[in-house]
Amino acid sequence: MTEEKKPEERKKRRTATEAAGRVGSMTKAMLANVPQAKGEGRPIAYSFICCCYDEIIRAMDITPHWVENYAGICGAKRDAQRFLERAEAENLSRSLCTYALCGLGFDAWREELGGEMPPDAPWGGQVKPDVMLGSGQMLCDPRNKWFQAAQHYMPDVPTYDLNLPWPPYEEDYDYREVQDDYVKYMVAQLRGLVEFLERHTNRKMDWDRLSELVDLTDRTWNLVHEAYELRRAVPTPMGTGDAMNTMVPLSFMMGTQQGYDFFKELYDELQQKIARKEGVIPDEKYRLLWGGGLPSWFALTDFNYFNSKGAVFPAETTYRMVEALYNFDIDFARITDPLEHIAWRWLKFWTCRYDKTRQRPGSHPDVERLIDYIEDYQIDGVVMHEAFSCRSWHVGLIWQLNLLKKIYRDIPSLVLESDIIDISSYNEADTRARIDAFIDTLEAVKSRAG
Amino acid sequence: MKVEAGGMALVDKYCQDYGSRARELKGQGRKIIGGLCAYVPVEIITAAGFVPFRIKGSVSEPITRADVEMETIVCPLVRSCFDLAVKGRYEFLDGLVIPHACDSICRTYDVWKYTLGLPYSHFINMPHSDNDTSLEFYKTVLNTFRKSLGKFAGREISDDSLLQAIKQHNENRARVRQLAGLRRSDPPLISGEELARALIAIMSIPVEESISLLGDVIAEVKPRASATGVEKPRIMVVGAQLDDDTFIRLIEDSGAWVVADDLCPGTREFWPDADITADPIDGLAERYLQKIKCARTYREQKGTYPEYLEERFGHIGGFIRDFAVDGVILYIYKYCDPFGFEVPAVKSYIESLGTPVLYLEDEYSKSTIGRLRTRVQAFLELLGAK
Ligand code: SF4
Ligand code: SF4
């Protein structure tokens, strides 16, 4: 039997690395910076992660408020329900992205209070922005509908919709035939964003600064890649539980020195741990891949539960939105326009496994990525999470697992079902029973293999 | 003049055995290209010499096979379509074209493609915004599709054949507009249910046959006397795709006429034509990206917020005035992000025009639709009491 734990009763999740342990206070400081910037008259932008505009807003000294992060915090504190219910009262379906519902519920409430934060708003709340930067054709529908919906409560806040498509993987044409069209379009969209920001925030783009930050981001991408590659070690020095913390500097501090420094420290720490043969757990029995799905922010301790059963997660696809740039088939040094640089980096990220995919009949780049990680990190099983409210990351997972088994090998897998922040979808006893059964399967496979 | 009971009877036949005509044509050597959603540029498929065929779901058939490959958190309509396809209901398809309409459609493209394993599949990577740079990009996307389909056809799709196809599809749309326009009178000459069935039937046949079928239906419906009788509330239904007449019938059985819609198939899809342009792709791109008003496309805000609402929802207001609508039912599927997020804004927009709105969320299944009956009846009573 489980007991529903109140937020304050929940134990803090144990992290394996010191770096991950520092993320909580970094996040708090990042959030506190937003009302402070607002107080100082600096423009605030509601922003999404992985939208390629990190360097642009930083170069223009616009402060991002990361709406997904805020919703995630409400979820992690098990305090999202009242905002979700508030959104439902506004006629927004509970089946929609719960990050968006949480954010919209919050905004509706705050605006109804004349701009005052709703009572006991987690970590100081979410301030009214000056602009909202949505994104279509990339990752998900809520990213262009959310801010449009938010205008219902804040009609005076302008929004921009940034389109950043990448070429789909198809057999009958090579993405290189169309890549120039994609880059041209992305650059036009990014340029449109700069103009939009200049028009609505009274800031001018500092193009030299932008180039510097683009370079800093490149270096950060490489560094993150190299740090995460260290997790191949046996025993692995860092698991997915920690990566759900280090996603904060990865996703919310890209294009900042602070983000870069964080990963430098993480890199050093992981190296030291490897030298000391210090793993997430001392007796690593099963190495698992977190093969897809955003985590349940209110249940990160499930990762510790896996650990308690001898299982570790040396790799995950979630939030690992970087690759080593030096592996791409492009010479970035020849690109002088920073916007074009950003566009190519993005396009090459999404297409970097297309050539490899063609070599395995019936394969798909998403499945190739799973195979790469399975081999590179010596993986015994794959775990995924299907969050009911987000179609973009959670549709296609079952098919990927089926295809993986068909074209590669029959590897044990587990698909957990819940949500990112809606705790009403979660049942701890059930989840843990399923984990137990999965561990039994892993054990059976292991002993069969001898 | 052909006035025998041909039109509506044929409509019924095609609805009852959806796909039967495509199956016959396949037997005669035609190639059938299936698609999901109003954003499949059917003109290009017609120009290639193929039959565009809209894959349809079924509210009365339980989903039994889809879940093996597809998550249950997908739009219930898409899941139903996929379930039928996996069960072999559309075994005559030679190919599949899926546009980037919404997450439920876009994210399942690979699931469709790899599961069905048809000889041809293509994803149309349509941008989300309607601004000019997006339009330029979208033209390149359409040209990629044109080239790819031409390769499958074994011949290039010429400008001439495209132009020809555009004219045919425009003529088809003009006929739909004419037929749907017969709902203006009070009482309407054609019921909402009949119109829904006609529009479903024509999703499954080649455009030239659709033009002729619609001609027959119009000839059959037009002479109907505009009978006077009990006054019934005139309802408009606004929502995403509705490829089934069950819900419309429920409204009409409850004592109303469905006289207008913003649906697919429906006015959303058939009101805008493609302009005839020197490069035929230009006219097509404008039609699909800028003229079709669907929640999936982000409209750039140019003026004030009230002007923005007018730009997004003004056409709904237009139909309310034009078709003397008494009340609007917002009919939204669970898991539909594009339409779901618009509910507060569109509801308040319509209410600001003085028209009452009933918002219903549904799961595209006969049992869930049945449960909506009491709410529809209560809404109609409220309208009647006005
Ligand atoms: S990716 Fe998923 S969780 Fe994130 S905003 Fe989009 S729908 Fe929501
Ligand atoms: S109803 Fe909504 S989710 Fe379903 S296909 Fe249409 S836009 Fe997509």
* d(C-alpha B229, C-alpha A409), whole Å: 69
Q: A146 alpha carbon to ligand 1 midpoint, in Å?
A: 10
pLDDT on residue B5: 54
- Local confidence band at A177 (pLDDT 50, 70, 90 cut-offs): very high
* Interval B193-215 mean pLDDT: 98
pLDDT on residue B198: 98
* d(C-alpha A295, C-alpha A288), whole Å: 15
Chain centroid to Cα A96, Å, comes to 18
Angle at Cα B187 formed by Cα B183 and Cα B188, nearest 5°? Answer: 20
Q: A50 alpha carbon to ligand 1 midpoint, in Å?
A: 11
pLDDT on residue A6: 39
pLDDT on residue B226: 66
* Tokens, residue B4: 């025998």
pLDDT on residue A5: 37
Sign of the Cα pseudo-torsion (B285, B291, B295, B297, in order): positive
Shortest-distance Cα residue to atom 7 of ligand 1: A390
Q: Which atom of ligand 2 is nearest to the CA of B240?
A: 1
Contacts of A386 in chain B (CB under 8 A): 71, 73
Q: B74 pLDDT exceeds 90?
A: yes
* Tokens, residue B180: 């749907």
Q: Which residues contact A275 (CB under 8 A, 6 or more apart)?
A: none
Report the relative pairing of strands A159-163 and B120-124 from DSSP bridges.
unpaired
* Interval A311-320 mean pLDDT: 97
Q: Which residues contact A23 (CB under 8 A, 6 or more apart)?
A: A245, A246, A248, A249
Q: A262 alpha carbon to ligand 2 midpoint, in Å?
A: 41
Q: Are A109 and A80 in contact (CB under 8 A)?
A: no
CB contact under 8 A, B109 and A168: yes
Q: Is the CB of B338 under 6 A from ligand 2?
A: yes
* 3-state SS, one letter per residue, for chain A: CCCCCCHHHCCCCCCCCHHHHCHHHHHHHHHHHHHHHHHCCCCEEEECCCCCCHHHHHHCCCEEEEHHHHHHHHHHCCCCHHHHHHHHHCCCCCCCCHHHHHHHHHHHHHHHCCCCCCCCCHHHCCCCCCEEEEEECCCCCHHHHHHHHHCCCCCCCCEEEEECCCCCCCCCCCHHHCHHHHHHHHHHHHHHHHHHHHHHHCCCCCHHHHHHHHHHHHHHHHHHHHHHHHHHCCCCCCCHHHHHHHHHHHHHCCCCHHHHHHHHHHHHHHHHHHHCCCCCCCCCCEEEEEEECCCCHHHCHHHHHHHHCCEEEEEECCCCCCCCHHHCCCCHHHCCCHHHHHHHHHHHHHHCCHHHHHCCCCCCHHHHHHHHHHHHCCCCEEEEEEECCCHHHHCCHHHHHHHHHHHCCCCCEEEEEECCCCHHHCCHHHHHHHHHHHHHHHHHHHHHHC
pLDDT on residue A4: 35
CB contact under 8 A, A92 and B340: yes
What pTM does this model have? 0.95
Angle at Cα A250 formed by Cα A248 and Cα A255, nearest 5°? Answer: 115
CB contact under 8 A, B337 and A188: no
Q: What is the domain partition of chain B in residue ranges?
A: 7-162, 229-385
pLDDT on residue A10: 55
For A155, nearest residue in chain B (alpha carbons) = B305
Q: How many CB pairs below 8 Å do chains A and B form together?
A: 173
pLDDT on residue B245: 96
Q: Are B247 and B235 in contact (CB under 8 A)?
A: no
* d(C-alpha A217, C-alpha A223), whole Å: 10
Q: A427 alpha carbon to ligand 1 midpoint, in Å?
A: 22
Q: Are B149 and B122 in contact (CB under 8 A)?
A: yes
Q: Which atom of ligand 1 is nearest to the CA of A391?
A: 7
Of B160, B85, B140, B127, the residue nearest A173 (C-alpha): B140
- Local confidence band at B3 (pLDDT 50, 70, 90 cut-offs): very low
Of B103, B383, B334, B248, the residue nearest A391 (C-alpha): B103
pLDDT on residue A2: 33
Q: pLDDT digit string (tens) for A104-147? A: 999 999 999 999 999 999 999 999 999 999 987 666 899 999 99
Contacts of B152 in chain A (CB under 8 A): 172
pLDDT on residue B2: 41
- Local confidence band at B1 (pLDDT 50, 70, 90 cut-offs): very low
Q: pLDDT digit string (tens) for B336-357? A: 999 999 999 999 999 999 999 9
For B295, nearest residue in chain A (alpha carbons) = A145
Q: What's the mean pLDDT when you consider all of chain B?
A: 96
* Tokens, residue B277: 């342009």
User: Residue A175 burial (CB < 10 Å; 0-12/13-18/19+)?
Assistant: middle
Higher pLDDT, B368 or A1: B368
Q: Are B298 and B131 in contact (CB under 8 A)?
A: no
Q: Is the CB of B78 under 6 A from ligand 2?
A: yes
Shortest-distance Cα residue to atom 7 of ligand 2: B102
Chain centroid to Cα A213, Å, comes to 21
Shortest-distance Cα residue to atom 6 of ligand 1: A140
Q: What's the mean pLDDT when you consider all of chain A?
A: 95
Of B64, B72, B164, the residue nearest B111 (C-alpha): B72
Q: pLDDT digit string (tens) for A39-85? A: 999 999 999 998 999 999 999 999 999 999 999 999 999 999 999 99
* d(C-alpha A315, C-alpha A75), whole Å: 24
* Tokens, residue B190: 């054609």
Q: A8 pLDDT exceeds 80?
A: no
* Interval A166-195 mean pLDDT: 97
Contacts of B343 in chain A (CB under 8 A): 91-93
CB contact under 8 A, B343 and A91: yes
User: Residue A361 burial (CB < 10 Å; 0-12/13-18/19+)?
Assistant: exposed
Q: Which residue has the tokens 């099963």?
A: A286
Counting residues of chain A whose pLDDT is more than 90, the rounded percentage is 94
Q: Are B68 and A415 in contact (CB under 8 A)?
A: no
Q: A249 pLDDT exceeds 70?
A: yes
Q: A414 pLDDT exceeds 90?
A: yes
Contacts of B69 in chain A (CB under 8 A): 398-399, 402
Our CA-based measurement puts residue A450 at a distance from the nearest CA of chain B, in whole angstroms, of 32
pLDDT on residue A450: 75
* Tokens, residue A429: 């006893």
Task: Find residue B332's DSSP bridge partners.
Answer: B361
Query: What fold, for B7-162?
Result: Rossmann fold (3.40.50)
CB contact under 8 A, B70 and A398: yes
Q: Is B279 left (phi over 0), alpha (psi -120 to 50) or beta?
A: beta
* Interval A441-450 mean pLDDT: 92
Contacts of A132 in chain B (CB under 8 A): none
* Ligand 1, pocket residues at CB < 6 Å: A 68, 97, 99-100, 139-140, 142-143, 294, 390, 392-393, 420
pLDDT on residue B31: 98
Our CA-based measurement puts residue B4 at a distance from the nearest CA of chain A, in whole angstroms, of 47
Q: Which residue has the tokens 């493209």?
A: B109
Q: What is the largest CA-CA distance in chain B?
A: 62
Q: Are A322 and A349 in contact (CB under 8 A)?
A: yes
Q: Which residues contact A271 (CB under 8 A, 6 or more apart)?
A: A230
Q: pLDDT digit string (tens) for A320-360? A: 999 999 999 999 999 999 999 999 999 999 999 999 999 99
Q: Is A61 left (phi over 0), alpha (psi -120 to 50) or beta?
A: left
pLDDT on residue A14: 85
- Whether the CB of B322 is below 8 Å from some CB of chain A: the reply is no
* 3-state SS, one letter per residue, for chain B: CCCCCCHHHHHHHHHHCCCHHHHHHHHCCCCEEEECCCCCCHHHHHHCCCEEEECCCCCCCCCCCHHHCCCCCCCHHHHHHHHHHHCCCCCCCCEEEEECCCHHHHCCHHHHHHHHCCCEEEEECCCCECCHHHHHHHHHHHHHHHHHHHHHHCCCCCHHHHHHHHHHHHHHHHHHHHHHHCCCCCCCCCCHHHHHHHHHHHCCCCHHHHHHHHHHHHHHHCCCCCCCCCCCCEEEEEEEECCCCHHHHHHHHCCCEEEEEEEECCHHHHCCCCCCCCCHHHHHHHHHHHHCCCCCCECCCCCCHHHHHHHHHHHHHHHHHHCCCCEEEEEEECCCHHHHCCHHHHHHHHHHCCCCEEEEEECCCHHHHHHCHHHHHHHHHHHHCC
Q: Tell me the HSE value of B189 on the side-chain side, using a 13 A CA sphere.
A: 17
User: Measured between alpha carbons, how far apart are the two ends of chain A, in Å?
Assistant: 35
Report the relative pairing of strands A413-418 and B51-54 from DSSP bridges.
unpaired
CB contact under 8 A, B334 and A93: yes
CATH number 3.40.50.11900 is the correct assignment for the domain at B229-385: yes
